[in-house]
Amino acid sequence: MIKKLRIKLIAVAMISVFIVLGTIITAINVINYNKITNDSDTVLSFLQENGGIFPVDMRKREEQQSGISDGEETQESGERSWNMPPGKGMPLGSPELAYESRYFSVNMDSSGGVTNADVRRIAAVDSDTAKKMAREIYDSGKVKGYYGNYRYIRSDEETGVKIIFLDCMRSLSDFKNTLVMSIIVSLAGLAAVFVLVIIFSGRIVKPVSESYEKQKEFITNAGHEIKTPLSIINADAEVIEMENGKSEWVDDIRKQTERLTGLTNDLVFLAKMEEAKDGTPMVDVPFSDIVCEAVQTFGGPAKAESKTLASDIEDMISVKGDEKSLYKLVSILLDNANKYSPKGGYIHVGLRKQKSRVVFEVTNTTDYDIDPGELEHMFDRFYRADKSRNSKKGGYGIGLSVASAVVEKHRGKIRAFAKDSRCIVFEVSLPA
């Protein structure tokens, strides 16, 4: 139990850290990616409004056409051309944007034919490549998006279609590097947290472990100590009966000592099972024979209360385990079914091999409606579903806990589920 508690503690801590780191990384990189996209769309929209070119480039083109070279003063302004304001209303607030951006545009007619490709502001793309990219985007019908490392926007004009491309390679490369580095750093942090949680979880559960060990030791020692006075009480009851004859008081003393003896034995057995989970040698056990023997044993008590005890047991099924523990498991489940099924009720025992597992089932009807919420607590110590009814049946609610411990020792699984509102099934799955 302590080992499971520690594993759960580590799992919860790691899942929590993973979720937090994952959320942070995702949020940062999504915001970064959206910023790159939004900034690119802002620049493309500005280019779209200015005919696919920055105004500063338009002035340079006009100056070159008018014969004014770089460094010459214009007659109107008296300023050198490189001191001219680089585009009023420049996007992103950067006057250097026109000189930093690499872009190109392609004009197409209404039928999709390329009429012009302006690639003067980019060196990585030639005219033919630009035309090919434009045709693919035109055929796709998309208005904006990414084509490799290029963000594009399509606009319809009077003469046809203009597609403008903006080089985003540097921004996307920085985004990818940031994404990879954030994942690597997060994984390293996750590994560090995992090591620290393993180290400190041992210290966290140590007080619980010590308390649990003391509890098991107390149960074992107290169980052995209680056996002696119970034996004496039982012997004294026999002496009283021999001297004074049978009486209801003596019978009641015997019944109560038997109940206490059974409870003590179950508690001691449960404590020993938890103390030495790996100490018992596992050998091939004829499980089919064990189940058949237990069914025959409980046939009489079931018949005495007009209950139907049916079975469907496959022959020659064996499992690796401890024979005494497995017989106790089968007996507990059959006794539980017989105890809590009503008179004239139905009990069914099944055993089959299913792939690499052995499935053992005990089904019984009940005289009360089964609450699905109580099924998960069936294997808790001293838990009894319907206390008003079960108190009349005897027992202390420890049997199913013992059955669960036996199954856990054999690396199996046990569960309880309702077949319908008045029929309960206990299913045990063991490795073949």
Give me the DSSP letters along 41-104.
HHHHHHHHHTTTS-HHHHHHHHHHHHTPPTTPBPTTT-SBGGGS-S-TT-GGG-TTHHHH--EE
pLDDT digits 0-9 by tens, 140-172: 989 999 999 999 999 988 888 999 999 999 999
Per the structure, the count of domains in the chain is: 3
Instruction: Report if residue 349 sits inside a domain.
Output: yes
- The predicted pLDDT at position 168 comes to 94
In a domain, 48, yes or no: no
Domain ends where: 236, 257, 275? Answer: 275
More confident residue, 387 or 111: 111
Residues 269 and 362 in one domain: no
Structure tokens at 295: 């069914």
Q: Does residue 328 contact residue 406 with C-beta atoms inside 8 Å?
A: yes
The answer to whether position 153 is within a domain reads yes
- pLDDT tier for residue 398 given thresholds of 50, 70 and 90: confident
Say what the pLDDT of residue 84 is: 39
Examine residue 337 and state whether it is found in any structural domain, yes or no: yes
- CATH code for the domain in which residue 381 is found: 3.30.565.10
- Mean of the per-residue pLDDT values for the chain? 82
Who wins on pLDDT, 241 or 389? Answer: 241
Residues 385 and 368: their CA atoms lie apart, in Å, by 10
Report which of 153, 62, 165, 172 is spatially closest to residue 120, judged by C-alpha positions. 165
> Do 161 and 237 sit in the same domain of this protein?
no
Residue 57, pLDDT score? 53
337 and 399 within one domain: yes
What is the rounded distance in angstroms from the CA atom of residue 129 to the CA atom of residue 136?
11
Q: Is 55 part of a structural domain of the chain?
A: no
Judge contact between 337 and 362, C-beta under 8 A.
yes
Token representation of residue 257: 């000592």
The residue range of the domain holding 142 is 102-167
16/279: higher pLDDT: 16
When pLDDT is averaged across residues 175-188 and rounded to a whole number, the result is 94
Same domain, 401 and 329: yes
Residue 328 burial by Cβ neighbours in a 10 Å radius (0-12, 13-18, 19+) = buried
Residue 220 has pLDDT above 90, yes or no: no
pLDDT at 267: 74
Q: Among 275, 302, 334, which residue terminates a domain? A: 275
Whether the predicted pLDDT of 2 surpasses 90: no
Please report whether residue 73 resides in a domain.
no
Verify that 337 and 420 share a domain, yes or no: yes
Residues 331 and 289 in one domain: yes
Residues 6+ apart with CB under 8 A from 223: 264, 265, 267, 268, 271
Task: Provide the pLDDT for residue 73.
Answer: 40
Instruction: Specify whether 134 is located in the same domain as 258.
Output: no
> Residues 219, 267: one domain?
yes
Q: Do both 259 and 324 map to the same domain?
A: no
Q: What pLDDT is recorded for position 212?
A: 66
* b (16+ CB within 10 A) / e for 197-223: beeebeeebeeebeeeeeebeebbeeb
CATH label of the domain that carries residue 211: 1.10.287.130
Q: Examine residue 223 and state whether it is found in any structural domain, yes or no.
A: yes
- Among candidate residues 167, 191, 216, the one where a domain is terminated: 167
Report which DSSP code applies to 281.
P
pLDDT at 78 (0 to 100): 35
- Domain check: are 218 and 268 in the same one? yes
Residue 34 lies in a domain: no
**Per-residue model confidence as pLDDT tens digits over 51-99:** 888 876 555 554 555 554 444 443 333 333 333 344 446 677 677 888 8
One domain, residues 315 and 373: yes
What is the CATH classification number for the domain harbouring 147?
3.30.450.70
Reported as a pLDDT band with limits 50, 70 and 90, residue 192 is: very high
Whether residue 126 is found in the same domain as residue 255: no
